[in-house]
Chain A
Amino acid sequence: MARMGMVFDLKRCIGCNACVIGCKQENSLPDGVFFTKTLSEDYGVYPSVKRVYIPTLCNHCEDAPCEKVCPSGATYTRDDGIVMVDGEKCIGCGSCAVACPYDQRSQVSKEMLDRGLFGEGQLTDFEKQGYDRFTPGTVIKCDFCSNRVDAGLDPACVVTCPTNARIFGDFDDPDSKPNRVMRERGGGQAPLAEKNTKPKVYYIS
């Protein structure tokens, strides 16, 4: 049994958003939908002000609140721990979206798909091939590029990152990259740990 997850090295992230673009391209995401975001946080007092970049995506929680509240059984967890949404079963009620503490779900609408990335109603060939995978009205989210994982590849955001700030692997394997990095760096911090969702995404700094 695997437990796929990710570690973000905040010291390495430079906020270039290449991961965001890589994700949008891999998943053909419509305008306004992001499976990953690199948030920025400013702190300090002028003139000693600093900015840190905080990559975010679905945390694929072990105790996923989105899965618990889903009334249609559309949200489920694979054997390798990746939390998925079955677009054929989703009814678009939004329960999962309001239950996710990390605001990592998006609802894809027909208008969104018709409008296209350029807002002119004429879809490019890239959009046409990509939008077929979405059912209008349903909720979508990051699935760690499960098709790539199944093929033995890392998620698109991981391979796109130029600074190796994203480390993906199996937390059940003691020798996996994320476990090694966490050991070397003295452990990581899960986001909103007080929500007790057991995220499989950690931050090291």
Chain B
Amino acid sequence: MSNTDAPLVGDSFKLGYRFQNFWDVPMATAFFFGELGAGTFLISMYFDFIAGMILGLISTGVGKPFFHLTHMGVPAKSWRAVLRPDRSWISRGLISIMVFVPFGMLVVLDQAFGWSGGAFLGKLVMFVTVAAALVVMTYQGFAMSHSSSISLWNTGLMPVSSMAYALLSGSAVTLLLASVLGGLADADLVMLQKIFLGLLVVTLAILLSLLHAAYHGTRGGQQSVTLLIKESFSLPFHGLVFGAGIVLPLIALWFGGTTLVAVVVAAIGVLIGFFSYRVLIFKAGVYEPQISFAARLGLR
């Protein structure tokens, strides 16, 4: 028998790769709702589409905290998470949410009732909201990319992918809502469909870059990517993240245009793909083996 590579060892007392199991589905769901909400808000705001802006605020302001509290070991002390913005992206993100939601409400009220009358204060509120939304969209990626322990996450592409998925899912939800509820001009719908298509291509490129960088970075990254594209998680990763989340929406929008059926298929596909991506990226995260005696002796 030749032992040429460290295996996945689970909780056993053997040297090898170990899955991280601290961040799982509840945390992935919280990340999903946060990014989806901020992306939907920004895309809807660009098109002055109030229903989408409200849904975005609900997603980030209600869905995300709910699943974060589900994940927390000590939910009653969760307020303490704001205490270290000087060093922790979790703190920065939480503060951004606390800014984004109330300021976003003010922007919605301004769009609906024009309370600012186009004055400086209204523009300032909008600027703060957009800045906070950008942080909400990306901080989860920054938090993950700062985990040097897990090579799959430890890349500058992680916040970029967060932003791409936030805008992609945001455009999907906005297009879906506008197609069902109305409220957008036909020209806006066509433009939104083009943005949607463009974001699909951009997200695909970022996904492939992320996998390529992780695979060619460290052995831990290689292990994670192998799990995603060849082994345990390959079926949901290919089927849901790529198939339902990228290919299906591309086909639906390319051939179906802005017809309701095409938009429904594309939007649902993107949401399934995005959620699956969030869950699988957590599940495929592995710690590298601490130290290899055999490697030091040149035996591996």
- Which residues between 1 and 39 of chain B lie within 8 Å of chain A, taking CB atoms? 1-3, 6, 11, 13-15, 18, 20, 22-23, 27
- Which residues between 179 and 205 of chain A lie within 8 Å of chain B, taking CB atoms? 189, 191-192, 195-197, 203, 205
Closest chain B residue, CB of each to CB of A101: B149
A96 to chain B, nearest CB (A): 9
**Which A residues are in CB contact (< 8 Å) with B94?**
71
A6 contacts B by Cβ under 8 Å: no
**Which B residues are in CB contact (< 8 Å) with A139?**
73
The B interface is mostly helix, strand or loop, or mixed, namely loop
A107 contacts B by Cβ under 8 Å: yes
**Which A residues are in CB contact (< 8 Å) with B71?**
93-94
A39 contacts B by Cβ under 8 Å: yes
Contact A72 B3 (CB under 8 A): no
B148 contacts A by Cβ under 8 Å: yes
Closest chain B residue, CB of each to CB of A96: B22
A45 contacts B by Cβ under 8 Å: yes
A126 contacts B by Cβ under 8 Å: no
A142 to B74, CA, bound (A): 20
What 1/0 mask marks residues of chain A from 69 to 109 whose CB sits below 8 Å from any chain B CB? 11111100000000000000111111101111111010101
B298 to chain A, nearest CB (A): 11
- Kindly identify which residue among B75, B83, B90, B300 contacts A95, using a CB–CB cutoff of 8 Å: B90
Contact B143 A45 (CB under 8 A): no
**Which B residues are in CB contact (< 8 Å) with A102?**
149, 287, 290
Q: Known: A65-B148, A71-B94. Is A136-B87 also a contact (CB below 8 A)?
A: no
**Which A residues are in CB contact (< 8 Å) with B13?**
17, 37-40
A123 contacts B by Cβ under 8 Å: no
A116 contacts B by Cβ under 8 Å: no
- Interface residues of B, count at CB 8 A: 51
- Which residues between 206 and 244 of chain B lie within 8 Å of chain A, taking CB atoms? none
Closest chain B residue, CB of each to CB of A40: B14
B196 contacts A by Cβ under 8 Å: no
In this complex, the member of B147, B285, B290 whose beta carbon has the largest number of chain A beta carbons within 10 angstroms is B290
A132 contacts B by Cβ under 8 Å: no
- Interface residues of A, count at CB 8 A: 55
**Which B residues are in CB contact (< 8 Å) with A70?**
84, 88
Q: Known: A39-B15, A101-B287, A203-B291. Is A93-B296 also a contact (CB below 8 A)?
A: no
Q: Known: A69-B88, A72-B84, A98-B285. Is A41-B294 also a contact (CB below 8 A)?
A: yes
- Kindly identify which residue among A37, A43, A72, A191 contacts B291, using a CB–CB cutoff of 8 Å: A191
- Which residues between 103 and 147 of chain A lie within 8 Å of chain B, taking CB atoms? 103, 105, 107, 109, 135-139
A190 to B113, CA, bound (A): 63
Contact B290 A192 (CB under 8 A): yes
Contact A192 B147 (CB under 8 A): no
Stretch at the interface among A22-30, A48-56, A150-158, A165-173: A48-56
A149 to B10, CA, bound (A): 32
A118 to chain B, nearest CB (A): 19
- Kindly identify which residue among B2, B75, B81, B297 contacts A71, using a CB–CB cutoff of 8 Å: B81
A142 to B2, CA, bound (A): 35
B277 to chain A, nearest CB (A): 17
**Which A residues are in CB contact (< 8 Å) with B150?**
98
Contact B84 A71 (CB under 8 A): yes
B172 to chain A, nearest CB (A): 29
B61 to chain A, nearest CB (A): 19
Contact B290 A54 (CB under 8 A): yes
**Which A residues are in CB contact (< 8 Å) with B18?**
103
**Which A residues are in CB contact (< 8 Å) with B297?**
43
A17 to B12, CA, bound (A): 13
Contact A93 B1 (CB under 8 A): no
Closest chain B residue, CB of each to CB of A104: B290
A42 to B6, CA, bound (A): 9
A-B contact pairs, 10 of them (CB 8 A): A40-B13, A41-B292, A65-B146, A71-B82, A72-B77, A91-B80, A99-B147, A99-B149, A105-B22, A191-B290
Task: Apart from A68-B146, A71-B88, A93-B72, list 5 A-B contacts with CB within 8 A.
Answer: A68-B87, A69-B89, A73-B80, A97-B22, A192-B291
